[in-house]
Structure formats: structure tokens, C-alpha cells
Amino acid sequence: MPVYEYRCPKCGEKFEKFVRSASAQNEVVCPRCGNAEVEKMVSLFGLTGSARISSGSSCSTGGSL
């Protein structure tokens, strides 16, 4: 199950939600105020995580094998 980050434009609450399917994304509501018109945010973890994986040459063990 993917985790999505959302922001409520009404109260400003930022929260994460496990979403089981694409249709379930329409059922997300703000946990603070109950607003159903929340905005999906771009996850910085997803952006930095993929960049970190692609730069495998920066990993070192600090010793010789």
C-alpha cells in the first residue's frame, strides 16, 4: 500500500494516509477538520530516495575487503 502525503487548504493540516486503491484516494478527509477537499502533496522522500539509490558510487564501507 502506498503512503501519500496530503495538505488541507482549510486548516493547513499536513498528514499521511495509506491508500489501498486509486478510487480510495477520493475518500481521504482531513483528520483535524474533516474537510474532504484535501490536496495531494509531492513527497520529498520519494524524490530524494530515488536520487540516493541512483548514486550508488557514493557508498563506501570505510575499509578494505
pLDDT given for residue 55 in this prediction:
47
Q: Are 36 and 43 in contact (CB under 8 A)?
A: no
Cβ atoms < 10 Å from Cβ of 34: 10
Distance CA 54, CA 63 (A): 22
Per domain, the residue ranges of the chain are 3-47
| pTM metric for this prediction | 0.59
The more confidently predicted of residues 14 and 2 is 14
Q: Tell me what the pLDDT averaged over the chain comes to.
A: 75
Distance CA 65, CA 51 (A): 27
- The dihedral built from the CA positions of residue 24, 25, 27 and 28, taken in this order, carries a sign that is positive
The CATH architecture assigned to 3-47 reads Single Sheet (2.20)
Residue 3 scores a pLDDT above 90 = no
